[in-house]
């Protein structure tokens, strides 16, 4: 009787429709192609079609030759790298404090980090404007106290303002994975280290940091890519001197109606992003993360 029960093909109903597996891959691939790959292909195609007609690499030559592009490329890269470095340092320190220094409200702060991630980026820029803007609180306080006509804080429209805004906004993106990693860390390891004679800095360097490297890598690479493509913050600081690649795309497409040029810059931006992401994958795989 038992053997009769066992021999019944229990999953026969599921196996019945003989659909090849690749059919199931069609809907997602089709959707991806329609909403993502096709427009991307159009952008690439457009970048090879100068307004004068025909297909050539002329738009690339023009864009690469322009001083504005080279400056934007440099600004974009150094801003993104500096922002990422700032976010990593600040995020690591803040996450350390939240995770390992017992203070009342640590959990509330940790929750706030989650909420912060859902804020739009321009909100931070607005907040910085209120504080450091030409007529912001800091300058207001200065003019009130000294009687001067103008306050000293006018860095907001410079690259430094953008850097400050990006670090402020993107730091929680580093903290989130770090806090998750820290919560996994065995406190017995920290206790073992300190009973072996290690002080806090050594414990951070030799016990916590190595455990946090994968989280730092993933948070850092995310921030790097987000910074490379950040548009809202750069636009909102209203910095005329700060032109990044996304701003250049916007300027060429909307203001100058130079679509081929805009597409060239966009392609370069995409290549940098994908390249850095690929580099991260290679590095993180080699690091065993």
Q: Which residues bind another protein (CB under 8 A)?
A: 186, 188-189, 191-199, 202, 206-207, 210-211
The region, left, alpha or beta by phi > 0 then psi within -120 to 50, assigned to residue 197 is left
Q: Minimum distance between the CB of residue 190 and another protein, rounded to whole angstroms?
A: 9
Compare residues 20 and 288 and give the one whose CB is closer to another protein. Answer: 288
Residue 251 CB coordination number (10 Å) = 17
Per the CB < 8 A criterion, the answer to whether 192 and 244 are in contact is no
The DSSP secondary-structure symbol of 207 reads I
Nearest Cα neighbor of 222 from 274, 182, 173 is 173
Q: Minimum distance between the CB of residue 195 and another protein, rounded to whole angstroms?
A: 4
- Give the residue carrying structure tokens 């810059």: 265
Compare residues 131 and 198 and give the one whose CB is closer to another protein. Answer: 198
Q: Minimum distance between the CB of residue 128 and another protein, rounded to whole angstroms?
A: 39
Q: Minimum distance between the CB of residue 107 and another protein, rounded to whole angstroms?
A: 17
Compare residues 16 and 188 and give the one whose CB is closer to another protein. Answer: 188
Compare residues 214 and 251 and give the one whose CB is closer to another protein. Answer: 214
Compare residues 8 and 195 and give the one whose CB is closer to another protein. Answer: 195
Per the CB < 8 A criterion, the answer to whether 264 and 59 are in contact is yes
Per the CB < 8 A criterion, the answer to whether 47 and 263 are in contact is yes
Phi, psi of 136 (to 5 degrees): -80, 180
Q: Minimum distance between the CB of residue 235 and another protein, rounded to whole angstroms?
A: 43
Compare residues 199 and 285 and give the one whose CB is closer to another protein. Answer: 199
Compare residues 178 and 248 and give the one whose CB is closer to another protein. Answer: 178
The three state secondary structure string of 19-71 is: CCHHHHHHHHHHHHHHHHHHHHHHHHHHHCCCCCCCCCCHHHHHHHHCHHHHH
Per the CB < 8 A criterion, the answer to whether 160 and 128 are in contact is no
Q: How far is CA 24 from CA 19, 27, 29, 35, 55, in A?
A: 8, 7, 9, 18, 38
Report d(CA 43, CA 259) in Å as an integer: 9
Q: Minimum distance between the CB of residue 196 and another protein, rounded to whole angstroms?
A: 3
Interior CA angle at 200 toward 199 and 203, to 5°?
90
Q: Minimum distance between the CB of residue 288 and another protein, rounded to whole angstroms?
A: 10
């Amino acid at each position: 009787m038992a053997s009769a029960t066992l021999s019944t093909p229990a999953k026969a109903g599921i196996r019945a429709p003989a659909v090849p597996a690749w059919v199931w891959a069609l809907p997602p691939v089709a959707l991806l192609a329609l909403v993502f790959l096709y427009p991307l292909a159009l952008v690439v195609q457009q970048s090879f079609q100068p307004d004068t007609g025909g297909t050539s690499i002329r738009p690339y030559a023009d864009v690469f030759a322009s001083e504005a592009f080279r400056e934007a490329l440099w600004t974009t890269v150094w801003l993104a790298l500096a922002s990422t470095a700032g976010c990593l340092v600040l995020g690591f320190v803040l996450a350390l404090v939240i995770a390992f220094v017992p203070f009342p409200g640590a959990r509330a702060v940790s929750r706030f980090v989650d909420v912060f991630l859902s804020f739009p980026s321009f909100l931070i820029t607005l907040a910085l404007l209120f504080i450091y803007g030409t007529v912001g609180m800091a300058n207001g306080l200065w003019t009130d106290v000294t009687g001067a006509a103008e306050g000293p804080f006018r860095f907001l429209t410079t690259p430094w303002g953008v850097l400050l805004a990006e670090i402020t906004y993107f730091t929680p993106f580093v903290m989130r994975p770090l806090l998750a990693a820290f919560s996994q860390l065995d406190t017995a390891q920290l206790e073992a280290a300190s009973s072996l004679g290690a002080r806090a800095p050594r414990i951070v360097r030799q016990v916590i940091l190595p455990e946090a490297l994968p989280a730092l890598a993933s948070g850092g690479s995310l921030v790097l890519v987000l910074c490379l493509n950040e548009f809202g913050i750069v636009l909102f600081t209203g910095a005329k001197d700060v032109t990044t690649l996304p701003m250049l795309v916007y300027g060429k497409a909307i203001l100058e109606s130079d679509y081929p040029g805009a597409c060239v810059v966009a392609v370069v931006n995409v290549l940098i992003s994908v390249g850095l992401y690929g580099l991260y994958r290679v590095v993180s795989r080699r690091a065993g993360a």
